[in-house]
Structure 1
Amino acid sequence: MPMSKEDNELLTRVENGAPMGEMIRQHYWLPAVPSIKLEADGAPVRIRLLGKNYVAFRATDGSVGVLDEQCPHRKASLALARNEDNGLRCIYHGWKFNVKGEVVEAPNHTGDQAQFCKHVRVNRYTTADRGGIVWVWLGKGDTPPPFPDLPFIDLPPNQRSVTSAEVPTNWVQGVEASMDSSHVGVLHESTTQITAGGGNERMLMTKALAPKLEFEERPYGYRYAALRTLPDGQVYARVNNFVMPWYGIICPPDANGPTTVFFSTPVDDVTHRAWFVHFNPKRPLGMTVMSASPDVWNFPPLPPGGPNENWGQNRDLMKRGHKTGFPQHLGTEDFAMFISQGPIVDRTDEQLCSADGAVLRVRQMLLKAAREFMEGKAPTMAHHPELDYRKIRSIGGVISNPGEWRQLADL
């Protein structure tokens, strides 16, 4: 059943006090910037989250902070600030801020400067530097929500890579794609073969494009199995997890291979940042397309053209066998799809099919959380008493019958 216009607005909007944006702000940690992007005493990095602008920086002692971009004094950008002696100093009048957001110096104020600094109104944000990402909680109060201890968080740096790219569409389009199993064997057939070879178990998806989906609710969201019957009668099962509000934890190509967490976080109503965490919990990651990225803040690349050029699609390459004409990266193929949908998808007239059950559940969970917040309640999936991010496991494999997927996932 198509979504109503009112539900689509509630689902997608995050700016100017929109309920979804305020729910996320209060009840979830947001990834702000890859850790490697921040250098001690280096340049601050401008970030935009939920329609508001911030700066992230690493102080002299290695600690990290996130501040409102505009100095509370005369509203100059702190992206221009000097990063020195464990704080950002605004180059307009010299006001200095520590990683907690506190004003520690106001050199142009006469009188008791320390007392004056204590009374400057500032927003203070809690940060964490974990899993190769600097995270921020933008909510009000003294107690942040549970931190998302996802499978990559406590791995050593040589077992993971983190990249991200800003995409000019609404965030939900990216979140939906992370749980859309039926697109992978079509859209990503060529890139899967290029990056992992014809022996990659994921290539089995191209032999059965219409998976049967089975779901299981979990305290963090849900997990589901995409079951594909193979020509020999066996079943290829891919068990993936959706973790509220935006994490898609995707099973590895084989039992000992690297896996990926995809998440799309809202920059504003019509822009999101796509994150890719590639990791191997069993051994060093080594050189992969992701770990070899030349720019962790702008990778994977966006499609190379605009709509008048079909977003840079290479039709000559398609004549030679490439399935999409976007050879740059798996993510580039996804981005082309998101951008072609428009800044915010009109879900009121879409025509869905049996393969869309996982996407529908994503929408339902997000809408439920927003409505719970509007009723003054803590969203269930953000504060579930049995919430334990460390128990999440995504896995794939060939099984003899469909009913074995739970045993596969719980090994």
Structure 2
Amino acid sequence: MIPTTEKASPDMRVFEQLESEVRSYCRSFPTVFEKAQGYKLWDTQGREFIDFFAGAGALNYGHNHPAMTKKLVDYLTSGNIVHSLDMATKAKEEFLKRFDEVILQPRQLDYKVMFPGPTGANTVESALKLARKVTGRETVISFTHAFHGMTLGALSITANSFKRHGAGVPLNHAVSMPYENYLGDAVDSLTLLERYLEDKGSGIDLPAAIILETVQGEGGINVASSQWLKQVEQLCRRWDILLIVDDVQAGCGRTGPFFSFEAAGIEPDIICLSKSIGGYGLPMALTLIKPEFDKWAPGEHNGTFRGHNLAFVAATEALSFWETDTFTKETLRKGEKVKLALQRMADDHPELEAEVRGRGLMAGIAFGETDFASKVCKEAFTRQLIIETSGPDDEVAKLLPPLIIDDEGLDRGLAILEESIKAAKA
């Protein structure tokens, strides 16, 4: 039995009194965090937490990675450029060259790199804008349970009704179609999409783009098969539609390979990256564009923080993980370990109607009972494990540990999760 913490909760009054009601994660994890290293966090009371959250996927390489820390400290203490808009800097040059050499060339991928702004929503907005500019069309097709961001364009292709309602205005020029298995295993969800595209009386205009996540993170850890992804790509090629893959959370090795779509053998026209591309948790985003679609006029899409030099420094160092295939193999091995552990938990509690989902270290366990996953995550926090829910009804306990986590950390975290399931049942 893993004991719960005995210490009283830290004083959260400052946040309750001074911070907006929109605050979210600090409600789920009501303590004041102070230090972090690798896959561990410590609060102001010295309590040690195992992190199965990783900044919602922004910390694939863990907290305060030593090599990145050294690079950042050296850069800061040498009088180098920190803020530069989108001017040319040495740090940007080194990142671009390294990204091309380590990521694009070995995969025989040819993309121009755009720095759209530092967030996932920024890269999605730029992708939508460019697809409409290139094709001259307005409609974008997304999928059920999709999440692409909280700004208006990204929100228009996000499925969650609660988040959409927050827009306060109509969300236009987007159509949601069924993701794989949304209509059940026996129904090919792309048959409907194909019929809509073929039929001039379907009521759907030919879209500028189709955007998708290969694994829907916020939507409930829904995994698209390679076959389904290939069929989507074929539909795009047939009708001259741009294919956009949102790899903001599933990319940077979260599913094993650097890009989550690699196993499917597809080649998107536009790729959206953010979160862990910054290496250290520093804000950064990329929009990767096939050269023939790089139709921007200079300054047509810009922003003040289009390339933070500290993020370039950390991101360049993070690419060292990708010089060989060792990191991918280790992530897949750990992912299999997590999958087997979750399946054992599901089998041990058949009354919970639990379903194991995921790829690599992007995993989850969905429960049939409403609010049960929330209870599990709350119990986990009392046992000093940070884990969040996902899915339209928060029905999934979602595991996103840093990819650098060792077997001991995985075992401890999974043991706490198992204890938390039992406690939630009680």
Same fold (TM over 0.5): no
Structure number with higher helix proportion: 2
Higher-RCO chain (CA-CA 8 Å, sequence separation at least 6): 2
More strand, by proportion = 1
Q: What's the TM-score, normalizing by structure 1? A: 0.30
State the TM-score, normalizing by the size of structure 2: 0.29
The higher radius of gyration belongs to 1
